Amino acid sequence: DRLLGGINLAVRLSFGSLGDTTDLRSFAVLADPATRLILPDPEPPGSVQATAGNGVAAFDDPDAETALRTAALTAPHLAVTRMLYGAYLSREGFADDSIRELTAAREIDADDPQILYELGVAYALAGDHDRATDVLADAVRLDPEDRESWIRQGELALSEQRFDVAAEAFAKVKSLPGGAAGGGLGLARTYLAQARLDEALLETQAVLADMPGLYLAHYLDALIKYGQDDLDGAESAIRQVQRVVPDHIPSLYLMGAIKFRQGQLNQAEGSLLQYLSRDRSNESAAKLLAVIRAQKDDLDGTIEALTPYSQTSQDPQLLAMLGTAQLRQGAVSEATATLERAV
């Protein structure tokens, strides 16, 4: 009975409908990691220059840790040395140590908004969003023109789906000198998360009018146009991304979905294979690859696409797809086990 139930479920869930596999939300969640902190300039997080010990040391310098730690140990009474070392530690993932150093810096100079910003970032990276929000609120009270603190406030609110708060923070960034790109892209992401696609598109188009080479804006533009069923426009935007960042991983996934919806199955399969060779964690991409191969009557390829997830996935659609394919292949015992997990 359970096997029959599994087969019935497979009929409903598997190859007849893609469900969330090509839904806009799949790509909004995927979001390029770089967009988690969209800066109003091209400098990536962690490139801060710091005077420490033997001179100027960038955070990505192999000697940065030694120089910054030495400075903090030899001048523990200076807020700047504790702040810089704490900021370095937070970027490297040492949450407790970074918060300790940055808290010490705050105790030395409680009125420095840069210290509060770094402490807020450290709390955010540690997953303590409540404290991060409180500290960043203190930072913007001390310096209402601090773009970075407003951006981080917007990011935290967006991650918690507090869309009104996020929009307010990003609008503030947009109003500040040099904040048009960071604020505009933040607003675009906020509207995209709410499926307010027309408003999101206005924001990306405004940013691209001023900064036509900004690949993050083109990527968001592609997501929005995909959601509007403007597949040609989405593809054009992805091509712009790939001109700037040829190996932009999320774009490979989105291009695969675009090509699938355009009926270009071979190109869709190629894009998804490139994507999955770099990121195997996205089950939706694997499902889409399986659907493409099923439509090409490639039963072995369908099973190959889904098998890596057979023991770990909790997705009934994926398991039903795999079980159905296994049944068609004649692997009854494997199909039985898979379909039982699906139900």
pLDDT, tens digit, 9 for 90 and up, residues 160-202: 888 998 999 999 999 998 889 999 999 999 999 888 999 999 9
The predicted pLDDT at position 134 comes to 83
The predicted pLDDT at position 73 comes to 67
Quote the Cα angle for 38-40-45, to 5°: 55
- Where the chain has pLDDT below 70, the residues are 1-69, 71-73, 75
> Which residue's structure tokens are 């091509």?
239
Q: Provide the token pair at 10.
A: 């497979």
Alpha carbon separation from 126 to 89, 95, 149 (Å, rounded): 11, 6, 17
**How far is the C-alpha of 338 from the C-alpha of 162, rounded, in Å?**
39
Quote the Cα angle for 238-242-244, to 5°: 120
Is pTM beyond 0.75? Reply is: no
